[in-house]
Every structure is written in structure tokens, then in C-alpha cells.
Chain A
Amino acid sequence: MAAARVRAALRDAAMAAAVAFVLAVPLVGFETVDFGRTGTGIATRFGWVWIGTGGVFVVRLALAVSGAARLHWAKVGPADSPARLGSPPKHARALAGLLLVVFAVALPFLPFASRYLVDLATTVLIYIMLGWGLNVVVGLAGLLDLGYVAFYAVGAYSFALFARWFGLSFWEALPVSGVLAAAFGVVLGFPVLRLRGDYLAIVTLGFGEMIRIILLNWSRVTGGPNGLLGIPKPSFFGLPLLPRARDGGVTFHQFFHIPFSPQQSIVFLYFVILFLALVTNAFTLRLRRLPIGRAWEALREDEIACRALGIDPTKVKLSAFAIGAMLGGFAGAFFATRLGFISPESFTFQESATILAIVVLGGMGSQMGVVLAAIVLVTLPEFGRAFAEYRMLLFGAAMVAIMVWRPRGLLAQRAPSIRLGPAEGR
């Protein structure tokens, strides 16, 4: 009976609106106003309460009426595996990937390219690399690491310190940062990887926070809240991209007989991170097709079955952790060199959450998905102050929404790591 359905929908929407109203009254309806040291005052903001309540009512009604009531606290089936098989033909994906790479390489030379755009693209690439790194841990191995920023920080700080103490250049320090971060990953991971998912998540969250606190307080080494300055920039095969070489050597622009421009350094940095990201991509894709990568995915699917097959879950998890950490370390070293200075402020839980959001929204395990999610998440705040302010709010909501509606992420379709190929007679 249509009337009964409409009535039920109205009642449902009314209830939802009532709940929204109750939720909104204390925190939306009233606003605390700071009077500095003399205390706090209250201002009312009830207009927003009515808007919020009304909005919830309308949206629920629309959902119910449009028959999308499957969303009504629908349960996701138990057989829901995080990865759905089948994918667009291999060629389509490879082609899309290739086009993206070509576009990325050409970017700084395109007519509309500006310093701002190259800068933005550089930031996007850092997050893509971080996303791919965390993807190994969360997407492939299914280990929820909420403190990934710790490895990012280790990479950054180790480069900064080695540059300061031993005069290492970026290229020399890069492998060191990676190895140190990986070692860190092993040390951190070793005691906790036998824990179940929830515990692992909160312990890694704690690690991330503790690293930040230590960086903040161990001023003698880390510079405390002021951080470390004077981090050297990378050189192009030994040619520094500076107006003047420090020891009277040849600089980049002198070597190529072109006038100096600060633009060169920016474009060069862009290509450095592009190179790092592409190597990361090739590396992870290759690993996925090796036994270790398959073991990661198998572990994610069913750890008990892995044990029954003689696979050591702790070693497999450690390897995922270490490799993910190493990639994070590389990204950290680049971050340090790009900015020229680092401080604990850049390594908060918010960063870990952002990187996690990229992996989750992009579809855990999917390389391309991470790229798209990183582009969206990094460029979104640029489209308006509103976006910038509400960025984390949207991330949080999006993560919940994705899990409820499309747990496999926006783009995830799992391509098998090995195929038997066309059989005779198929």
C-alpha cells in the first residue's frame, strides 16, 4: 500500500530528524565564545539547528521514498571480501597508467603550468608515494597501521640529522633514511604484530603519537618544537641547483649554459619525487607478484589458513610493515629536502589519518585508486576555504560512508597477481 509506505517513510524521517535535533541542540545551537582569561560566554545559533534538522528530515525522506531504503541500516553480508575480483582488461589499466605518467612528466612544460601548479603536483606526488607505502601495510597485508606518520618522521629527521652531522647529501642519505625507517618498522612491529587488528591499530596509533612527543621534547637532538633547519636540497648528478656553487664548483645552470632561475629547483624537485614515486610503484607492483606479496594478500584474507599452509604470519606481517615503513622513510627524506626545514608539527595524527583516508577511499590494494584519492584529497582544499576548513570533517565522514556503502573503496577491483592464461578450448 503506497499510503502505508509513505507514512512509514514519514515516520522514519521524523525520527531521524528528532535525533538530529537532539544532537544539534547542545553543540550546534550554542556556541562557546572566548572572553580570554575572564572565561567563556555563550552565543546561540539556532538557525543552524533548524537547518540541520530539516536537512536530515528531507534527505531521509528522499532516500526512503526513492526505494534506496537498502541504506536503512542495511547489513553487509558476511561473505563480503575486501577485494572483488575481475577488472577492466589489463590493457585498459596499463594504458591509463601510461597516459598518467606521460602527463605527469610533461606537466611542468605544459603551457598552463605555473609555479603554483608544480608545487601542488609535488605535494600530490608525496601523498601518492605515502599512500602507496601505506597501501602495502593496510591494503595488501590488511594491517591497520594508524601511526604511519612515524616512519615519515624517521625518514625526514634521519636525513636532516645525517646532513647536519655527517654532511650527507640527499642522494647519499636517501637509502639510509629508508633503511632506518625499515629498521624502525621492524622494531616497532616485532612486539605487536601478533596482536589482533584492533589492538594493532591502537598500538600503532600510540607509536605515532609517542614519536611526535619524543621529537617535541628531545630538543638536544631534534631541535624540539623549533625543528631542524638548513636541510640541503638534492643535486642533479652532483650539480647543485643554486645560483652559486659553494666550493667554487660548477652549478647546474652553469653546466648547461642557461641563466639561473629559481624555477629550475622547483621543477627539479618535482621530477625527483616523480622518479621516487614511479620507482615505488614499480617496486610494489613487482612485489605483489612475488611470493611475499601473495602472502600479504593471503594473510589479509585468512590468517588461520595461512598458518595451516606453513606460512609464518609474524614474518610476513613484519615484512609488510618494514617495506611500508621504508617507503614512508623515503617520502620523509624528500619532504625534508623540499621544505628545507622540518618540525614535529608536520607529523601529527592528522597526517596518518589523511594517508589512511587516501588508501581507504582509493580502495585498499589498488595503486590507481590511491593516485585518484590523493589527487582529490590534496587538491580539494585548494578549491575554496570552505573545503580547506572542512577537509578533515569530510575525510572522517567519507571513511565511514565508504565502509558502509562501498567497503572496497571507490575503485578497487583486484587484479589477480598471476594467471593461468587461456586454457585450451576456452
Chain B
Amino acid sequence: MAYFVQQLINGLTLGAVYGLIAIGYTMVYGIIGMINFAHGELYMIGAFVSLIAYLLLGIVGVSYVPLALLLVLLAAMAFTAVYGWTVERLAYRPLRGSFRLAPLISAIGMSIFLQNYVQILQGARVKSLPPVINGGFRLFEQGGFVVQMSYLQVIIIVLTIGLMAGFSMVIAATPLGRAQRACEQDMTMAALLGIDVDRTISWTFVIGASLAAVAGMMVTLYYGVIDFFIGFLAGMKAFTAAVLGGIGSLPGAMLGGLLIGLIEAFWSGYFSSDYKDVAVFAVLVLVLIFRPSGLLGRPEVEKV
């Protein structure tokens, strides 16, 4: 029982991270109907920027941890947002009218480019960060196994909930959110009504990238090690989460992220961690075969 609860806690934490990344996938898909293959790389860039920002603050002498983390968070979100904006402008916008494979290939090219860009600039070796936030709560003990929840895990979960709540509010209540939903429904009509579609799409990418950056920062703190390749696997799993929850659906992305995090944690905990990625991937295939619209999505009707 204790072991189960521990895996549950770990899974929730992981799920929060995947959920944040999945939002980016689902939003971009909802508005322009394509998968942003480079999104995982934005998460990775967010992680690197966090690392660098944190180290810099250390050198500069900011030692008050909450302040440092806040600054790191803002820096990561800001810089990654610019990367997200640039990726859209360079690789996707020019291809908006093109044949359907073109933006996909461009996205893959962008993904490869960003991975190697970071690899060349920062080296291929793993980068480590000494633990920043230590300690946690001892929840209970059973049969010699102690169930713990670290402060960091709490922060991650709380921060994620807060961000998602705030973000949902933005989508529901602000003009940008309305414009976003309008573009998702019918881009031509939205443009005719005076909505700046280009800007709305850019904002979508920017927001998605910022959230991915938060995920990146949290992972940097949580695992303490990052490398240029983390975007690849995390991206695929987050995409699985988005599909599981229902691509295009925001609550779906959050739900999917949660489920994937739990699946991964329980699989590693009870079976083998060697094949945990295979397990998550199997989920993707099963969902796509049996329920491609996901848990919360609506089945797509083909327009002829």
C-alpha cells in the first residue's frame, strides 16, 4: 500500500510535467491542425535556460532561493517563448497553404536543428545541478517503507495546478482566449471578423512554449540532470498524453498528462523501468487504434 502511494505521488509529479508540455501540443494542433514536432525541443531549451539562469544567479550572488527560482522561472519562460515564436515564424507560417507533408517535414527539420543547436553550443554531455530544494514531508510508514513527498514535488504539483487554472481562465475569459477559440473553429471566419489570425497563432505558440519552459525548469530541479536529448522522449510522451486526453482539448491535455505520468510511474515501479517508454508508446498506439479522438475529444468528421 505504501509503495503504491509513493508511486502515485511520483506519477502525479511526472504527470504534471507531461501535462504542461501536452498543452502546447494540443493548443497548436487545435488552432492550425498540425503537430509541432519541435515542441519537445522547446521544453529542452527551457530546461537549459533554467540551468544557465540559475547558475548565473548563483554567481551574481542571489542566494535567496525563492527569489532565484522566481527569476529563473521568468527567464526560462521569456526566452523559450521567443524561441517558440521564432520557430513558428520560420518553419510553419510560410507553409500555411502548402501541401500537407510540408509543415511536418519542416517541423522535423526544426526539431533536429534545435537538438543539434543545443548540443553544439552546450556540449553533448549531461549537465548536472546540485539539489536546490531539499527535504519534504514524511507521510506515513508501512512495513518499513517510508512514503515521502518532497517539497519540490509539492511545488511542482501546486505550480502546475495554478498555471493550468490561470491558463484556462485566459482561454475562457480574455479576448485572446476568445480569438484563439474562434480561430480553432473557423479560421477564415475569424479573419473576416477582424481577428488578427497571425497574431493569435503566434500567441498560441508563445504560450505553449512558456508552459513547456516551466516544465523544463521543473525537470531540471527535480532530476538534477539534463542533456540536449531530453526533448525527444518527453515530447513523444507528452504528445501521447495529448492524444490520450483528446487532441485539441485543453482539459484533455491535463488529464492525459496525468494518466501518462501515472502509467509510467506504476510501470517502472511494478514491472521494469527498462521498458517504461515502450509501455507509454504502446498506450499511444492503442489509443490511436481504438479511440483516436481520445478520452475528452470529439470524433472528427471528415469534410468532403
Contacts and interface: CB of A to CB of B under 8 A. Distances in A.
Asked whether the complex places CB atoms of A and B closer than 8 A, the reply is yes
Contacts of B117: 27, 393
B239 A360 contact: no
Nearest to B282: A210
Contact of B55 (A23, A42, A205, A217): A42
Nearest to A205: B236
B161 interface: no
B61 to A, nearest CB: 14
Given A22-B82, A399-B105, A197 B100 contact: yes
Contacts of B233: 209
A190 B300 CA distance: 21
A76 B97 contact: yes
A23 B51 contact: no
B127 A40 contact: yes
Interface size class of A (residues with CB under 8 A): 35 or more
B35 A31 contact: no
A400 B275 contact: no
Interface string B93-135: 1111111111111101111111111101111010111100000
A213 B277 contact: yes
A86 to B, nearest CB: 18
A397 B109 CA distance: 6
A206 B284 contact: yes
A396 interface: yes
Among B53, B109, B130, B304: residue with most chain A CB under 10 A: B109
B71 to A, nearest CB: 13
Residue in B55, B108, B278 whose Cβ sees the most chain A Cβ within 10 Å: B108
A400 B34 contact: no
Contact of A80 (B59, B99, B121): B99
Contacts of B105: 144, 356, 360, 399, 403
Contacts of B34: 198
Interface string A139-160: 0001010100000000000000
Contacts of A195: 288, 292
Nearest to B90: A400
Contacts of B113: 393, 396-397, 400
B186 interface: no
B13 to A, nearest CB: 23
A210 B109 contact: no
A398 interface: yes
Interface in A21-54: 22-23, 25-28, 30-32, 34, 37, 39-42
Contacts of B128: 34, 37, 39-40
Contacts of B95: 76, 403-404, 407
B123 A396 contact: no
A39 B99 contact: no
B236 A81 contact: no
Nearest to B34: A198
B56 interface: yes
A403 B109 contact: yes
A73 interface: yes
A404 B112 contact: no
A349 interface: yes
A74 interface: yes
A42 B123 CA distance: 13
A396 B52 contact: no
A299 to B, nearest CB: 12
Contact of B35 (A138, A202, A389): A202
A32 B29 CA distance: 34
A8 B91 CA distance: 23
A27 B106 contact: no
Contacts of B130: 39
A349 B115 CA distance: 12
A27 B49 contact: yes
Contacts of A201: 35, 37, 104, 108
- The 10 A-B residue pairs whose C-beta atoms are closest, nearest first, are A399-B109, A396-B113, A396-B112, A393-B116, A400-B109, A403-B106, A76-B98, A198-B35, A78-B97, A392-B116
25 contacts: A22-B82, A23-B82, A27-B48, A30-B56, A31-B122, A34-B123, A39-B130, A40-B55, A40-B128, A41-B55, A75-B93, A77-B97, A78-B97, A142-B101, A144-B104, A192-B285, A197-B104, A198-B34, A206-B284, A207-B281, A353-B112, A393-B113, A396-B109, A398-B109, A400-B91
Given A23-B86, A199-B292, 10 more contacts: A32-B48, A37-B128, A144-B105, A192-B285, A195-B292, A213-B274, A393-B113, A393-B116, A400-B90, A401-B109
